[in-house]
Chain A
Amino acid sequence: MGSQGGFGQSKEFLDLIKSIGEARSKAEEDRIVLHEIETLKRRITEPDIPKRKMKEYIIRLVYVEMLGHDASFGYIHAVKMTHDDNIHLKRTGYLAVTLFLNEDHDLIILIVNTIQKDLKSDNYLVVCAALNVVCKLINEETIPAVLPQVVELLGHQKEAVRKKAVMALHRFYQRAPSSVNHLISNFRKKLCDNDPGVMGATLCPLYDLITIDVNAYKDLVASFASILKQVAERRLPKSYDYHQMPAPFIQIKLLKILALLGSGDKKASEQMYTIIGDIMRKCDSTSNIGNAVLYECICCISSIHPNPKLLESAADAIAKFLKSDSHNLKYLGIDALGRLIKLSPEIAEQHQLAVIDCLEDPDDTLKRKTFELLYKMTKSSNVEVIVDRMIDYMININDSHYKTEIASRCVELAEQFAPSNQWFIQTMNRVFEHAGDLVNPKVAHNLMRLIAEGFGEEDDTADSQLRSSAVESYLRIVVEPKLPSTFLQVICWVLGEYGTADGKYSASYITGKLCDVAEAYSTDDTVKAYAISALMKIYSFEIAAGRKVDVLPECQSFIEELLASHSTDLQQRAYELQAILGLDANVATNIMPMDASCEDIEIDRSLSFLNSYVQQSIEKGAQPYIPEGERSGMTDVSSFRSQELHEVSSHALRFEAYELPKPVMPSRVSPIEQSSSNELVPAPEPSYHAEMHQVASSVPSVSDTGSLELKLKLDGVQRKWGRPTYSSAAPSTSNADIPKIQNGAPQLDAVSSSSSKAVSYDSRRQQVEISAEKQKLAASLFGGTSKSHKRQSSGSQKVPKTNIPAAEKSHVAKNATSDTAVLERTPQPPPDLLDLDESTVSSSAQSLDPFKQLEGLLDLNQDTSTLTTSDASASGAPDVMSLYGETTLNVQSGGVPNLLPAGRDEANLLSGLAGTPNRDGHGENTVTNPTQQLNKGPNAKESLEKDALVRQLGVTPTGQNPNLFRDLLG
C-alpha cells in the first residue's frame, strides 16, 4: 500500500514529527520548530549534500512552514530542486515552491525557464507537475512566457494534461483577462472534449465568463441543458458516480451556469424546465450529495424565469429540508426559503414554526442564517418583532464583523419599515448604545435629520412631540457610562437643537448635562466639538428669547479649556461661542435661528455682495482679478506664490475659489466654518467681532453649523424612511404585544389561529412543539397572512386555550403522535456515524453494542500490540477501545447516505414515551454488526501493523494522542 513508502524519512525527521506531536503547548512546539530551523539553516548550506538528503530537508522546510514558521531561508534550495532532471526530486521541488511562494515572489523568475522546458516534456506526468505550478505561480508578467505552450497543451493526447491546461488558462484569465482574451473561444471548444473530466473542468472558466457577460453565451443554453440531461441519465462513465449519483459535482456546476443564463430570460429558462424537473425527481434526498444537488436545483429555480410547477417542487424540497433533523439541511432549507420567498412570499408561512425553531436553536450558524431570512421577509407588520430580536442577538455577540452587519441591517429595516417615529428613535438608541462604534456615521446623520424633519408633513405637534421624547430619552441615556462616540454626537446635537425647545428643561440643566458629557469624554474631540456647538445654540436661543444668560461655572471652565485647546477647530468654536455671548438678541436670532436646521442655506457663489468693495478697491488703483486660466506666463507655483505674497502684504481677499466642502468628513470642522474662516481675512483679534457681523448680515441664512453639515452629508443618500410603506402596513398588523381584535376575539385568537395553521401543514411536528410563546412569535412574524386559515381556527382553538401547562400539553400531543412518528422514522436509512462525538448521550447509547462485539476481536490482537488496553467505557475518554468501537461504526455507514442521527432531545423524548423507535434503532445496529466485524477485521489489523511499523522505526507516538491510529473513514 501507498503508506509504506511514506516512512522513508530519516530517524531525525520522524523524531521531529514525533516530538511535535507530543508537545504539550504551542510554546513547546514553537521551541522545537525554532530548533529545527536552526538545524536546517546550518545543514542546508553545507557543501555537497546528497540529493536524497536535500529532498528531505526540503520536505522538512515544508513542514516547518506548514506549522506557521518562516522558512524563507530555504526557498532558493527548493527552487534549485525544481531544476533537477530526476522527476522524483523535481516533483518535491515543485511541491515546495507552490507551497512556499506567492505569485509575486521574486524567485518565480528563476523557475519559469524550467517550467517552459517541462511543459515540452515527453512524459505527461512531468507536464502535469509543471502545469500545477503554472496554476499557482505564473503571474501577469510571466504569462506570455508560458502561454503558447499551455494553449498547445489544450490539444494534448492525455486528458489529464488537457484538463490542467484548461485550468491554467482559467487561472490566467483570472489574473489578467486581457492576456488571454483572444483565447476564450478555446473554452467553448473544450466543452465538447470527449473526456468528461476535461469537460467538467471547462465548466469552471465558463461559469466565470458567463457571470461577467451572460449575453455572449445565450447560445450555449441548449448545449448545457443537453449535457445536464446526459449526465443525469448516467451517460458518463461509472467512475464519475459519487454515492450512487451520476457526476453530481458536474451537475451542480451546470445548474449554477443555467441559473445565470436563465435569470430574467424567459426563452432560455423554458429550455431548462424539463431537465431541472427531472433532476429534482431523481435526486436521492437521503444522501448528502443528493441534497446538495437538490439545493442547487432550488437555487436555479429561484434564479430563472419562474415556473409554477418547479416552484412547487422546490417548495416541497424546502419543506423536507426544514423538517429534517440535520442542522445542515435545516440551514440549507432556511437559505433556500430566503431565495424562494422573493418569488412566492406565501411559502414562508407554511414553515413558520420551523423557522422559529431555527431562530431559537443553540447553533449560532443556523441562527444567523435565520436572521438573514427574517431580514429578507421583513414587512411593516413584523418589523418590530424582527428588529427587536436582531438587537437582542446583536447585544450578545462579540464578533465585530457580524455585529456590524446585523447593526446595519437593523438600521436599514428600521428606516424602511418603522411603524412610528417614536419606535424608530428607541430602536436607534438601542442600536447606537450597543454597536454605535460599528455603524456607518451616515446612520447617525439620518437619525438627526429624522428628528429635525419629523414626518416631513405639516403636523407640527407630532414633530415637537417626537423631539421632546427624543430629548427626554437622551437625557436619560446620557448618564450611562461608556457610550459610543457617534451616539454622543447625536445626543449633543439633539440636546443643543431641541433641548430647551419645549420649555420643559431649563437652559442651565441642559448645558450642565452637555458639560458633563464633554468632561466624561474629554479625549474625544469630535464629541467636544458637538458639545460646544450645542452650548452655542442653547445660549443664542436664550439670548434671542431675551433671557439673561448665566453661564454655569463648569461651562465657563469648559469654554476656557477649549479656548486654549490644541485643536484649532475646538478653539474656533470656543471663540465663536464667546463672541455670541456678547451679542444682542437681534443678532443672535440671525446667527442661530430657532429650529432652522432644515432650512436651505443659500450660498452666493459669485460673491455679488462684495462687488461694491471690489469696485472701490479698483477705483483706488488695485489690480482687477484675472481668473487663473487666463493668466499667462506664470507657472502654477509662481502664481500661487505671488498670490500669497499679495495676500500677505495687502491683507486683501484671497482670490482663489472657495474650497468645496469635503464630502464625507464625519463630524470634523463643519464646512460652514471652514468657509467662513476662508472668507475672513486673517485679522487681528479685535476686528473679529465686527467681521462676524458682516458675514452674518451679508449671508442672512447662515443658520447653525450642524444643519449645513447635515445637509451636505446627506446629499445623494437615498431616502428610505417614509410614509408609504408604513401606511400599507396598517391592515395586517397583528403584533403580539398589542391586544388586537381579530375575528371578534382578542389576542388569544390570533395565537390559536396561527397554531391551527401550523396544524394544517404538519401535524406531527406542530403538536410536539406547541408552546404558547413560539406561537405568539409566529403570529407576530407571519401574522399578516392568517386569513386563509381562519376557517380552521374555530375548530382547533381548544388545544391552546385549555390551560394545560405547556409541557403536559406537548406530552399529550406526543403520545398521540408517537405512533405515526415511529412509522415515519422507520424507513429512514441508518444514521451516519461519521460525525462522532463521544460525549453525546445518543451516540454512546447506540455504540454500546458494537463495543462489546469488538472486544473479542481486539483481544485476539492484544499480543501484537500494546495499544489494546481495553477499557470499553461508553463515556468516551479517548482510549483505544472506544476508538475502534467508533471506527467500526464508520464501516457500517461508509458509503451509505449521510443523514445525521436524530436530534438528541427528540430521540430521548421518543424513547421515553413510546420506546419503540429506540429499540428499533438498536435493532438496526445489531443486524449490521456481523458485517461490521467482517469489514473491520483487516482494518484493525492494518492499523496495528502501522503501529508496529512505526515502532520499528523507533517512534512511539502513543503518549497522549492514541487517536492518531484511528481510521478517518471506515
Chain B
Amino acid sequence: MIHFVLLISRQGKVRLTKWYSPYSQKERTKVIRELSGLILTRGPKLCNFVEWRGYKVVYKRYASLYFCMCIDEDDNELEVLEIIHHFVEILDRYFGSVCELDLIFNFHKAYYILDELLIAGEPQESSKKTVARLIAAQDALVEAAKEQASSLSTIIAQATK
C-alpha cells in the first residue's frame, strides 16, 4: 500500500502532498523534513529507493522535481517507480509537456488526476487512456457548469435590475 505521495522541489519546497495513512499535521511536517534531508542529498546514480522507519520510499527526479511515494516493506519497488512514471506521463499528457510551474499553479488539478490513479493508497487504474478520458469528462462537466452558472447569474442580474 502507498502511504503517502510527496512532490518536493530540489530546494526542498513542497509542491504536492497526499496522505493515505493518517498523519497529524505535526508528523507530516516532520516526515517531509526528514525525507527531503534524506532524498535530496542522494547522488544521481544511486538506487531510487531509501529505507526509512521500516518503510521504503521510492523516489524519482524529473527535472527539478522529486516524486516520492512511501510503501510497505514487501511492495515491489520497481513497480512503484513505474507508477510514479505513469503519473508523470498522465500529467504530461494533460498539461502538455508538464513542468513544475504547471503543478504549482494547478495543484488542485494534479490532485484530481492523482485521485483517478490511486485510491486509498492502492492503484485503481492502470490505463492512461481511461484516466485521461475521465479527467476530460470532468473538465467538460465543470466547464458546462460554469457556463450555466454565469448565464444563470446574468439572468438573475437582469431580472433583479
Q: Do A and B come from one complex?
A: yes
The yes or no answer to A789 lying at the interface (CB within 8 A) is: no
Given known A-B contacts A197-B127, A249-B123, A966 and B63 have beta carbons under 8 A apart:
yes
Most chain B beta-carbon neighbours within 10 Å: one of A66, A291, A843: A66
Nearest residue, chain B, Cβ from A372: B51
Counting contact residues on chain A (CB < 8 A from B), the size range is 35 or more
- A903: B residues at CB distance < 8 A: 45
Identify which of residues 44-99 in chain B touch chain A, using a CB-to-CB cut-off of 8 Å.
44-51, 53-54, 60-65, 76-79, 81-83, 85-86, 88-89, 91-92, 94-99
Q: Say how far B125's CB is from chain A's closest CB, in angstroms.
A: 5
B82 and A288 contacting across the interface, CB-CB below 8 Å: yes
Q: Is the CB of A86 within 8 A of B145?
A: yes
Residues 919-940 of chain A: 1 if any B CB is under 8 Å from the residue's CB, otherwise 0? 0000000000000000000110
Interface: A455 (CB within 8 A)? no
Q: Does B134 belong to the interface (CB within 8 Å)?
A: yes
Would you call the interface of chain A mostly helix, strand, loop, or mixed?
A: helix
| Closest B residue, CB atoms, query A941 | B97
* Pairwise interchain contact A904-B45, C-beta atoms closer than 8 A: yes
Contact between B47 and A292 (Cβ–Cβ < 8 Å)?
Answer: no
Residues of A within 8 A of B145 (CB): 86-88
B107 — which chain A residues lie within 8 A by C-beta? 62-63, 66
The reply to whether B111 and A99 form a contact with Cβ atoms under 8 Å apart is yes
- CB-CB under 8 A for A968 and B100, given A2-B139, A365-B46, A840-B45: yes
A106 to B88, CA, bound (A): 35
Q: Is the CB of A102 within 8 A of B22?
A: yes
For window 1-32 of A, CB contacts with B under 8 Å fall at 1-3, 5-7, 9, 14, 17, 20-21, 29
A961-B64, A968-B63 known; A239+B129 contact, CB < 8 A: yes
* Contacts of A238-284 to chain B: CB distance below 8 A: 239-240, 242-243, 247-250, 252, 256
B141 within 8 A of A: yes
Interface residues in B89-137 by Cβ distance below 8 A to A read 89, 91-92, 94-102, 104-109, 111-112, 115, 119-120, 122-130, 134-135, 137
What 0/1 readout, one digit per residue, does chain A (65-104) give for beta carbons within 8 Å of chain B? 1111110000000000000001110011001001100110
Q: Is A327 an interface residue (CB 8 A)?
A: yes
Q: Is A837 on the interface with B (CB-CB < 8 A)?
A: yes
| B88 x A968 contact (CB < 8 A) | yes
Inside 8 A of A963's CB, which chain B residues have their CB?
9-10, 63-64, 100
Residues of A within 8 A of B91 (CB): 968-969
Any chain B CB within 8 A of the CB of A878? yes
- Determine if A1 and B141 form an interchain contact, defined as CB atoms under 8 angstroms apart: no
**CB < 8 Å: which of A103, A132, A363, A401 contacts B46?**
A363
- A776 at the binding interface (Cβ < 8 Å): no
In contact, B44 and A836 (Cβ under 8 angstroms): yes
Q: Give min CB distance, B41 to chain A, whole Å.
A: 11
Are A204 and B122 within 8 A (Cβ)? yes
Interface centre among A248, A401, A961 (most CB of B within 10 A): A961
The answer to whether A839 and B120 have CB atoms under 8 Å apart is no
User: What 0/1 readout, one digit per residue, does chain A (951-970) give for beta carbons within 8 Å of chain B?
Assistant: 00000010001011111111
Q: How far is the CA of A123 from the CA of B137 in the complex (A)?
A: 11
Q: B112 and A331: CB pair below 8 A?
A: no
Contact flag A239-B22 (CB < 8 Å), given A66-B17, A288-B85: no
Q: A95 with B112: in contact, given A160-B134, A295-B76 (CB under 8 Å)?
A: yes
In the complex, what residues of A have CB within 8 A of residue B81's CB? 288, 292, 328
Q: Does B155 contact A (CB under 8 A)?
A: no
Q: Are A240 and B127 in contact (CB under 8 A)?
A: yes
Determine if A964 and B109 form an interchain contact, defined as CB atoms under 8 angstroms apart: no
How many whole Å from B115's CB to the nearest CB in chain A?
A: 5
Residues of B with C-beta under 8 A to A256: 76
A167 at the interface (CB under 8 A from B): yes
Contact of A818 with B by CB under 8 A: no
Q: State which of A65, A99, A170, A197 has its C-beta within 8 Å of the C-beta of B125.
A: A197
Of all chain A residues, the one with the shortest Cβ separation from B98 is A968
What are the residues of chain B within 8 A of A91 when measuring CB–CB?
112, 138, 142
Question: Does the CB pair A160–B130 fall under 8 Å?
Answer: yes
Q: How far is the CA of A287 from the CA of B51 in the complex (A)?
A: 24
- Bitwise interface map of A from 741 to 754 toward B, beta carbon under 8 Å scored 1, else 0: 00000000000000
Complex contact A3–B120 (CB within 8 A)? no
| B35 beta carbon closer than 8 Å to chain A | no
B65 touches A961 (CB 8 A): no
Bound-state Cα–Cα, A51 to B145, Å: 13
State whether A66 touches B105 (Cβ < 8 A). no
A757-765, A790-798, A942-950 - interface stretch: A942-950
**Are A239 and B130 in contact, CB atoms less than 8 angstroms apart?**
yes
Q: A59 → chain B, closest Cβ, in Å? A: 6
Closest to B95 in A: A3
Chain A 812-864 residues near chain B, CB threshold 8 A: 834-837, 839-840, 843
Are the C-beta atoms of B104 and A964 separated by less than 8 Å? Answer: yes
CB of B108 within 8 A of CB of A62, answer: yes
Are B126's CB and A247's CB within 8 A?
Answer: yes
By beta carbon, the residue of chain B nearest A401 is B53
Contact A135 B120 (CB under 8 A): yes
User: Shortest beta-carbon distance, A970 to chain B, in Å?
Assistant: 8
CA distance A731 to B80 in the complex (A): 45
Q: Is A413 an interface residue when CB atoms closer than 8 A count as contact? A: no
Q: Which residue of B lies closest to A195 (CB)?
A: B130
- Chain A residues near B105 (CB-CB < 8 A): 6-7, 9, 14, 17
Partner of B78, one of A6, A65, A170, A292: A292
Please determine whether A252 and B86 come into contact, CB atoms closer than 8 angstroms.
Answer: no
Distance between Cα atoms of A3 and B103 in the complex (Å): 9
In the complex, A125 has a CB within 8 A of chain B: yes
Question: What chain B residues lie within 8 Å of A59 (beta carbons)?
Answer: 108
How many angstroms between the C-alpha atoms of A292 and B86 in the bound complex?
14
Query: Would you call A574 an interface residue if the criterion is a C-beta within 8 Å of the partner chain's C-beta atoms?
Result: no
Residues of A within 8 A of B45 (CB): 327, 840, 900, 903-904
What residue in chain A is nearest B109 (Cβ atoms)? A6
With both chains docked as a complex, state the minimum distance between the C-beta of B9 and any C-beta of chain A, in angstroms: 8
Residues of A within 8 A of B86 (CB): 242
B147: min CB distance to chain A, Å: 10
User: Across the interface, do A21 and B63 meet the contact criterion of CB distance under 8 Å?
Assistant: no
List, in ascending order, chain B residues with CB within 8 A of A364's CB: 50
What is the 8 Å Cβ interface bit string for chain A, positions 309-335, against chain B (1 contact, 0 not)?
000000000000000000110111000
A689 within 8 A of B: no
Closest-by-CB residue of A relative to B79 is: A292
Q: How far is the CA of A238 from the CA of B72 in the complex (A)?
A: 30
Q: A9-B105, A837-B44, A969-B97 are in contact. Are A887 and B63 (CB under 8 A)?
A: yes
| B25 CB-CB contact with A under 8 Å | yes
- B residues less than 8 Å from A7 (CB atoms): 105
Q: Of all chain A residues, which has the CB nearest B58?
A: A328
- B61 and A835 contact, CB distance less than 8 A: yes
Which residues 128-167 of A have a CB within 8 angstroms of B?
128, 132, 135-136, 160, 163-164, 167
Find chain B residues with CB under 8 A from A249 CB: 79, 82-83, 123, 126
- Asked if A484 lies at the interface with its beta carbon under 8 angstroms from chain B, I say no
Q: Are B146 and A883 in contact (CB under 8 A)?
A: no
Residues of B contacting A836 with CB < 8 Å?
Answer: 44, 61, 63
| Contact call A88/B126, Cβ cutoff below 8 A | no
Kindly identify which residue among B92, B106, B141 contacts A125, using a CB–CB cutoff of 8 Å.
Answer: B141
Do B122 and A969 touch (CB < 8 A)?
A: no
List of A residues within 8 angstroms of B60 by Cβ: 834-835
Structural contact, A840 and B95, CB atoms closer than 8 A:
no
Extra contacts, 10 of them, besides A1-B96, A87-B145, A331-B47 (Cβ < 8 A), are A7-B105, A51-B149, A67-B14, A86-B145, A167-B119, A327-B47, A328-B49, A836-B44, A961-B9, A963-B63
6 closest residue pairs by CB, A with B: A837-B44, A963-B64, A6-B106, A292-B78, A239-B129, A966-B63
Chain B residues within CB distance 8 Å of chain A: 9-11, 13-14, 16-18, 22, 25, 28-29, 32, 43-51, 53-54, 60-65, 76-79, 81-83, 85-86, 88-89, 91-92, 94-102, 104-109, 111-112, 115, 119-120, 122-130, 134-135, 137-139, 141-142, 145-146, 149
- Would you give 5 A-B contacts (Cβ < 8 Å), ordered by A? A63-B107, A66-B14, A835-B48, A887-B63, A967-B63
